[in-house]
Amino acid sequence: MLLQLPRGRRFQFREITLDMAPNMEQTARIFFPETRSVTDRFHAQKLHEAVQKIRVKAR
């Protein structure tokens, strides 16, 4: 699907929202090299909650 976008069009994107999966980040860098990657708020919040749980449990 990404290859259906013309190369010139892919270079027009400025920002792309990703979850925190390394494979998604790698794909974004390959197909959208000129974009800035931003982690979506939902996944960042879930990570924060998980870290908080571990922190409280360790206390």
Measured over the CA atoms of residue 55, residue 18, residue 33 and residue 11, the dihedral's sign is negative
Sign of CA dihedral 4, 12, 25, 18: negative
State the average pLDDT over residues 54-58.
Answer: 94
Residue 1 confidence class, pLDDT cut points 50, 70, 90:
confident
Please tell me the predicted confidence (pLDDT) of residue 48.
93
Length in residues, the chain: 59
Calculate what percentage of the chain has a pLDDT beyond 90: 54
Looking at residues 5-31, what average pLDDT do you find? 90
Beta-strand pair 36-39/15-18? parallel
The pair of three-digit structure tokens given for residue 40, joined into one six-digit string: 């979506």
Q: How confident is the model at residue 49 (pLDDT cuts 50, 70, 90)?
A: very high
d(CA 59, CA 54): 9
Mean pLDDT of the chain: 90
